[in-house]
Structure 1
Amino acid sequence: MTGIKGDRMLPKEKVAEMMLHALQKSKVLGEAFSSCASDYLELVVSWKELEAHHASRPDVANGELERLQIVAQESRGTHSSVPEDLTLVRNGEVPIKSFADACAGTFTSLPLHLTGLTTIDAIQGLNIILNKARKLASDSHTFTVGSNKVYDKDTKQDLGYGLELFCGFFFTTKLGMGRALINVNRITTAFYQSVRLDYFMHAYAPPNSYGHWNRAKLRHALLGLRVKITYQNRIKTITGIGELTPVNQTFTLKDGTNTTVAHHLQTQQSATDLIPAITNSNCLCINLGDTSKPSWFPAETLEILPEQIFKIELPPDSQSRMINIARKQPGESRRIIAENGLELLGLKPGPTGSPEASGFWIGADGVGQVTGMRPSSEMLGIPFRQIQPPVINYSKRVQALSPQYTQWNLGSNAFVNYSKAFTGKVIVFVPEEEGKFPSNANPEAASYYAVQLLLQLGLNGVTIMRDGRPVKFKSDDVTDLEKSVITPITFDKYGNREMAFRNGVRRAKIDHSDLSLALLLNPTKKAAWADVFSDFKRVMDQEIGVHSLCITAETCSTQDRKGRLNQYMANIITDFQVMVTERLQDWQARSGFLPAKVLYYRDGVGNSQYAEVRNEEVLKIRAAYAQLQGNSPNPIEPKITAVIVTKRHHTRFYPQTTNMAMNCLPGTVVDSEVTHPCYFDFYLQSHKPVQGTARPTYYFVVENDIGFGAEQLQDFTYHLCFTYQRATLPVGYAPPAYYADRLCDRARAYMKKHFHSISVPRPPRLRKGQDEAMDSFKQRCRAQTEAYELAVLDNWKDLCRSPDGNMKGPWHSALNGTMFWM
């Protein structure tokens, strides 16, 4: 359906309203309404041939089927109704045959094209059909977000802070081996409550006892939120938060006179009922206009539109409540999908006991009757392989594991927990070997590491207390934190270590009764130092009763990392070749040669970026090799295997058991039926979840120069999951990607205090010229957005530069080459 947007940029609600009017008025679609479905934005999918409505004089030669006119808005005040000229155009045939051929494995070349020359791809078309089945089955008590998430209105629960949650289901069609599949999974999502905006502001971030609002917190939560101006019945988007209340916020009228927001609304008859609330309001005004030309409204006149997802971090107690509601045992999740999910999605089995879906899918005009599509309501049984866990060698211990028991023990003492407040002082023990200190583990380094530990705790939300008062500090001024670190104590590695630990703490407590944490600085994590750590933990945990941790200062050649700020919304790493070059230089400096093979685990991209990773990042790895080797007579041509690691997906596996609490065992790998029929991919559940339903990790191989076989790569990846430094059990996905996530988390911690300190003003919203083409306008918008994002990136780099100008990350250069962030 063309002409709905024309040369305008309309909100989705308006487009959907116009599309519904067009579908109801169309003669072509009216005669075949039961045999078509729409996304209510611009697309119509029909499973019957549509005949042109010649009375509307369509241009049949150019694929037009019908021309029609609708009213875009009702008359209101002095505004008259606006007629819109629309055209129903035949784009082409959705490539269902290509989709079926792909399921059958007929296509084996890369890349795989399933999109028609002029129309949409098969999966999008099938999802539109699924959405119609859902609407016919349960439209009265459900709502959708996007094209494939449906929520049950009856599941609403209050989260506090002006928020609520709904439970529902994700659904999509996907390629399978030999057949098309419908992927269905449970989802639980937080939404804004549809309430007056001032109610939300007081619930989410109320003013303090002095009446001061947390504008940064409100701005983070409200920007981009859709609201209705109640006295005008118009829908707008919040673009800013003011600093003044309605009685103090001024603006200029068209005649040039200044007035306040509250006084102006007193002249509006439609806002009479709200005047008392507005004049007594302590809420900040809300901008619904441009940043350069603000349009101020009192929060009391705005109402949050329903069904808007709360996309930022939830308050802690809301988060806990949501997790408790969302968390279900595997058997319970399976039951909810089979009973509630299929009914909501219109996939309920037929009355005769047949597993095939009924209702929309059968009958003379049903999709199944015409296309042969008859979804089964039974879960798909699939083959799997159980990978055996590795044998664990730790110090002098060897421990064999089993699929049922994949955890091993490092000793009798568990790690200690910490609360949201750290109180007291820190002492560090530093070992001597034959009267000398290792170069990376001396008293000066020990004090530095202890201060950095406290600094990072503080930056991550832990209150540092000393002498009953919070310690004040900045990332570039840790003078006060240094007072919380006692002069380090040295001891002889080969002497009576336990006595040294015991006496050291007791002497320190004479002058520092509030000693609360003891650290041991080991120069390496090799087995030769494991006994030192065991003695230290035993004395501190069992005899002294002081929390204790071990700091390892060893440089780690294979797991070293560097951090870079990436361009906003960019999935491909912008400085990738530079980063790879640095990694190779470090490798070469430590080993004397360059590696001949590279196994690259890549996290954080969707399937639409797989080709970009292959065509850009893999090539940049080769370019980094070429750059380093220059004119070498015998250059290494590296063999590269690149694997995409995907954690956020909706595929779940359930064991065939009556035990409701049982997940699939760690080491469960699936590489058929639900994987791609043409590519090298697999699902691997490598961990044992503590609670809830396990989510396997999806691995997709985009390059395989090394020549891994399927089982080789699966086994290697699973065994690699046992090597994560912070756990004595296998983790949920490949540690290289896990370490990258942790380093990014650490970098975000450095940046947290700057989240609301960006000094780059957001550019004003562009206006489309009267005679300007839409493509030209969109190009101007993209150019402005890119320029703004680059300016923000440069600003972040200035804010997050380390005090000594370290170029390898936002930390002191003394920490380069170490895994301090673990």
Structure 2
Amino acid sequence: MEPISKAPSKLTDFVLRPGMGTLGRNIRVRSNFFEITRLPAGMNIIHYDVTITPDVPPILNRKIFAEFERINLSRALRNVRSVTLPEENGNTYGRRPPKIFKLKIKKVGEINYEELTQFLEGKRQLTSNCLTAIMALDVLIHHEPSMKFVTVGRSFFTPQDSQVLSGGAEVWQGYYQSARPTQRKMMINVDLSATTFYERGPLLQMITKLLGRRTPDDLRRGVTSKDYQKVERSIKNLKVRVTHRGEVINKKSFKISKLTPASADSTKFEIGGNTMSVSEYFQKTYNRRLGYSFLPCVVVKKNVFLPIEICDVIEGQRHIRKLNERQTAEMIKFTCQPPHDRANRIRKGVDLLNYRASEYLKQFGLTVSNDMIVLEARVLSSPTLTYHPSSRDFSFQPREGSWNLRDKKVAVGTTLGSWSVVCFGTERDFSSQVIQTFIRQLVITCTDTGINVPNKTPPMMHANPQGDIEGTLKQAWLRAGNASKAQPQLILCILPNTGVPLYAEVKRVTDTIIGVASQCCQSRHMIQAKKQYCANICLKINVKLGGMNSFISPTQVPFITDRPTILMGADVSHPNPGELNHPSIAALCGSMDSRASRYSASIRVQSGRNDIIVDLSNMTKELLKTFYQSCGRKPERILFYRDGVSEGQFSQVLKGEVEALRVACESLEPGYKPNITFVIVQKRHHTLFFPLDRRDADRTGNCLPGTVVESKITHPFEFDFYLQSHPGLQGTSRSTHYHLLYDENSFSADGIQQLSNNLCYLYARCTRAVSIVPPVYYAHIVCRRARFHSRGEQWSDAEISGGVGAASAFGVVKPELQRVCF
């Protein structure tokens, strides 16, 4: 049988769909796609590029173009037009005359939808004309919402149903929409989104919340210089209105540049030849005595000072700074909605969009269904998991994607002989007796699950969480070795909170300085010492020390057991917005045995927010060598799962990274050419599924684990599918989208779908099926862990300017820790 990737048709450079899958139980689901029932027919849409000068923000561009449309309603478009934007409340020009803008209009081409229709029907490849036609549909469906609502990317937001967060922010409900090509149809994908804005209303109230005070009067107790710096950073460039001069003036907006160094009582300026303070000015001019004159003023222009208490924050200003831990928790609570509620809110969004009544859509002959599409889906069976034969229930099929360790022993248990415990906190915070009770329960659970623990009373020490962490961990390592007269295997660290800095430093030191496995526990869980929590800790310890928790029968994963096969997962992690001096990190994880239970990792630092893995060839060589050392044979097949890639990058990634795999293989041995399958894995999409029948839903109302969808909303002819492999916990579950770009292993639809689903039951760190195949999951963990290896994530310009070679700030993981699940 010829490889699928060599199909004679040149419809695509990627893999053609080999047919539909048949395995599993047939069900029906709704999805948040709305069919475009009629495309523009019998007409050409003219595509213009419009340049507006002078350059202004997008929100003003829309007003200018709306005014242009109004005056050109019955006239032919000219090459260059001038538009005078009328003076209106809310502009930022003050009393200056209205501004004149020039519009340069250039015809680019004409869009005919016949070509797009042929692509949707699988009769021709995706051309630039098709992409332009899809872009035009996106422009059409976004135009009216962008004129009415606050827009961010493909989403628009309304203050309706908003919720106030702590720290002077609020979260708004939004609606995402995107025109998507699918099998024989164009559809509109509509989903909920949410983003944070600065809390509208009194600036004084917002600052009170920023500083964690309950009421503005609490500010009278004193505000430190550090508090002032925090406030100034937070409110810089914020737009406000004043509230002291009546409704008309009230509409004018000002942009904050900074705070005055002194209070309103002490900030002075000259007026009419006299010098007076801001407080005196307001008393004399407006007969208003300031209630918070001990606070600084905001500076909005040179020598223009406004008391904080007369300013109101204008609504709809995005909060682009990173949320703190409490805000993040509040945000998650706001966005976490059960499937039924989410579906109803999406329908509400479609009503708000009101496609049927849109004059724009009517003018272009576009009609859209108001009903979610109904799809055929299948629920794949779960694999049979195997634990140690001495277990009472050693071989079983999990129900609804989860199971527990009751009456089970791990398949291959390790021995934990040399270890120590560090509690980051004082004896007063966490008594030795509480810690010993937790250790006792942990040791009992380890023994019950098949892990041998000869040393049941490891040395224990308290340490300062703000102290010398590296010194503490080195001391703990020495104590472990001295107590057992053997090489230390593990340091168990009890952390006082969920904060990142301490955890990051523990991992940096143990991974890159000492070279010993570490296991962190939260103190609140230690105090309770529940058996389920201890069982999860045991699973992690076992794989970190080289054990195997469970495996799937070879007959259910023949692709990785019939012939030597390596599974690889790759991801690139970028720094947060604003972290200009931080690099990107690329991670590659590969399986090291025929049961896909042990993995090794390779990591690289790369600059420039590059989504392509720059040094993939050498990273692959490292893992192929490790595989050979572990198994004694070279892989004959490579199944490569790649995360972190958008559709627009498919061609670039396929060309660059498959070639890098080939180069790696050839460099190890001339003529070495294992068969490669390259699969893109996407979680950041807006496709949701809702079971039609309650019998096809789990207890949370989500689709059952193993639900696969490959028709109607997938690519017109390429080989892709959606797989929801995990059980729901809370909110609406999101499936994973798999798209095969290259395939020399001739996978059938059933073959790759069932294999991917089965692999999701082999994630070693929990007793649940996970939402994404383990090689990629481990690559995520490695990327995150690698950031902790960079001296607390502190990078300098000099270290980053070197690109891939800028590893001086990047601690290298000790070799003995590279072959374990992180």
Range class of TM-score, shorter chain: 0.5 to 0.7
The DSSP-based 3-state class of the residue aligned with 1:408 is coil
Q: Equivalences for 1:594-743 in 2 at 5 Å? A: 594-629=634-669, 632=670, 635-657=671-693, 661-743=700-782
Provide closer, same or farther for how the CA distance between residues 273 and 310 of structure 1 changes in structure 2, counting only shifts above 3 A. farther
Residues 536 and 765, structure 2, Cα contact 8 Å, conserved in 1: no
Aligned-partner residue type, residue 423 of structure 1: F
Residues 265 and 293, structure 2, Cα contact 8 Å, conserved in 1: no
Tell me how far 1:602 sits from its aligned partner. Answer: 1.2
Provide closer, same or farther for how the CA distance between residues 479 and 233 of structure 1 changes in structure 2, counting only shifts above 3 A. same
Aligned-partner residue type, residue 664 of structure 2: A
Residues 240-292 of structure 1: per-residue CA shift (max 9 Å, x gap): x8895578999999xxxxxx9x9799999999999968963268x88999xxx
Residues 379-429 of structure 1: per-residue CA shift (max 9 Å, x gap): 2111112211111111115666668533233226999xx999783567899
Provide closer, same or farther for how the CA distance between residues 571 and 237 of structure 1 changes in structure 2, counting only shifts above 3 A. farther
Aligned length: 626
- The reply to whether residue 411 of structure 1 matches residue 437 of structure 2 is no
Q: In 2, distance between residues paired with 1:270 and 1:382?
A: 71
- Given the two structures, how large is their TM-score scaled by the length of structure 2? 0.64
Aligned-partner residue type, residue 674 of structure 1: I
Residues 690-725 of structure 1: per-residue CA shift (max 9 Å, x gap): 122221111111221222122111111100101001
The DSSP-based 3-state class of the residue aligned with 2:658 is helix
Residues 388 and 403, structure 1, Cα contact 8 Å, conserved in 2: no
Provide closer, same or farther for how the CA distance between residues 480 and 626 of structure 1 changes in structure 2, counting only shifts above 3 A. closer
- The reply to whether residue 52 of structure 1 matches residue 76 of structure 2 is yes
Q: Equivalences for 1:516-535 in 2 at 5 Å? A: none
Residues 259 and 296, structure 2, Cα contact 8 Å, conserved in 1: no
Tell me how far 1:73 sits from its aligned partner. Answer: 7.1
Aligned-partner residue type, residue 280 of structure 1: F
From 210, 234, 239, give the equivalent of 1:227: 239
Q: Which residue in 2 is equivalent to 1:380?
A: 373
Q: Which residue in 2 is equivalent to 1:343?
A: 351
Aligned-partner residue type, residue 391 of structure 1: T
Residues 265 and 278, structure 2, Cα contact 8 Å, conserved in 1: no
Tell me how far 1:684 sits from its aligned partner. Answer: 0.1
The DSSP-based 3-state class of the residue aligned with 2:56 is coil
Provide closer, same or farther for how the CA distance between residues 158 and 560 of structure 1 changes in structure 2, counting only shifts above 3 A. same
Q: Which residue in 1 is equivalent to 2:136?
A: 125
Q: Which residue in 2 is equivalent to 1:816?
A: 818
The structure where strand makes up a greater share of residues is 2
- The reply to whether residue 791 of structure 1 matches residue 801 of structure 2 is yes
Tell me how far 1:212 sits from its aligned partner. Answer: 4.5
From 774, 780, 786, give the equivalent of 1:747: 786
- The reply to whether residue 211 of structure 1 matches residue 218 of structure 2 is no
Provide closer, same or farther for how the CA distance between residues 161 and 385 of structure 1 changes in structure 2, counting only shifts above 3 A. same
Tell me how far 1:481 sits from its aligned partner. Answer: 6.9
The DSSP-based 3-state class of the residue aligned with 1:154 is strand
From 178, 182, 185, give the equivalent of 1:172: 178
Aligned-partner residue type, residue 409 of structure 1: N
Q: Which residue in 2 is equivalent to 1:584?
A: 624
- The reply to whether residue 330 of structure 1 matches residue 322 of structure 2 is no
Residues 672-701 of structure 1: per-residue CA shift (max 9 Å, x gap): 100001211110000111122221111111
Tell me how far 1:325 sits from its aligned partner. Answer: 3.5
Q: Whose relative contact order is higher, 1 or 2, with alpha carbons under 8 Å and at least 6 apart?
A: 2
The DSSP-based 3-state class of the residue aligned with 2:135 is helix
Residues 399 and 408, structure 1, Cα contact 8 Å, conserved in 2: no
Aligned-partner residue type, residue 817 of structure 1: R
Q: Which residue in 1 is equivalent to 2:295?
A: 281
Residues 643-689 of structure 1: per-residue CA shift (max 9 Å, x gap): 11111211111111257852211111111100001211110000111
Q: In 2, distance between residues paired with 1:179 and 1:88?
A: 32
Q: In 2, distance between residues paired with 1:236 and 1:795?
A: 42
Residues 586-610 of structure 1: per-residue CA shift (max 9 Å, x gap): 2233344432322111112222222
Aligned-partner residue type, residue 295 of structure 2: S
Provide closer, same or farther for how the CA distance between residues 546 and 665 of structure 1 changes in structure 2, counting only shifts above 3 A. closer
Residues 403 and 666, structure 1, Cα contact 8 Å, conserved in 2: no
Residues 191 and 686, structure 2, Cα contact 8 Å, conserved in 1: yes
- Given the two structures, how large is their TM-score scaled by the length of structure 1? 0.64
Q: Equivalences for 1:280-679 in 2 at 5 Å? A: 280-281=294-295, 304-311=313-320, 313-338=322-347, 340-347=348-355, 358-360=356-358, 367-368=361-362, 371=365, 373-396=366-389, 404-411=399-406, 423=430, 470-474=464-468, 476-478=470-472, 482=476, 490=484, 549=538, 550=541, 552-554=544-546, 557=592, 558-629=598-669, 632=670, 635-657=671-693, 661-679=700-718
Q: In 1, distance between residues paired with 2:229 and 2:622?
A: 37
Residues 167 and 212, structure 2, Cα contact 8 Å, conserved in 1: no
Unaligned runs of 5+ residues in structure 1 are 32-50, 59-63, 254-259, 348-357, 432-439, 452-464, 493-536, 761-787
Identity of aligned residues (%): 22
Q: In 2, distance between residues paired with 1:269 and 1:638?
A: 83
Aligned-partner residue type, residue 341 of structure 1: G
Aligned-partner residue type, residue 665 of structure 2: Y
Unaligned runs of 5+ residues in structure 2 are 1-47, 214-220, 243-248, 411-421, 444-451, 487-525, 548-590, 593-597
The DSSP-based 3-state class of the residue aligned with 2:604 is coil
Tell me how far 1:330 sits from its aligned partner. Answer: 1.8
Tell me how far 1:480 sits from its aligned partner. Answer: 8.9
Q: Which residue in 2 is equivalent to 1:10?
A: 56
- The reply to whether residue 105 of structure 1 matches residue 115 of structure 2 is no
Q: In 2, distance between residues paired with 1:220 and 1:628?
A: 53
Q: Which residue in 2 is equivalent to 1:89?
A: 106
Q: In 1, distance between residues paired with 2:325 and 2:206?
A: 17
Provide closer, same or farther for how the CA distance between residues 215 and 672 of structure 1 changes in structure 2, counting only shifts above 3 A. farther
Residues 702 and 733, structure 2, Cα contact 8 Å, conserved in 1: yes
Aligned-partner residue type, residue 89 of structure 1: K
Residues 20-51 of structure 1: per-residue CA shift (max 9 Å, x gap): 2222222xxx13xxxxxxxxxxxxxxxxxxx7
Tell me how far 1:171 sits from its aligned partner. Answer: 1.6
Q: In 1, distance between residues paired with 2:649 and 2:636?
A: 26
From 46, 56, 70, give the equivalent of 1:24: 70
Residues 286 and 299, structure 1, Cα contact 8 Å, conserved in 2: no
Tell me how far 1:336 sits from its aligned partner. Answer: 2.9
Q: CA RMSD in A?
A: 5.1
Aligned-partner residue type, residue 720 of structure 1: L
Q: In 2, distance between residues paired with 1:606 and 1:489?
A: 52
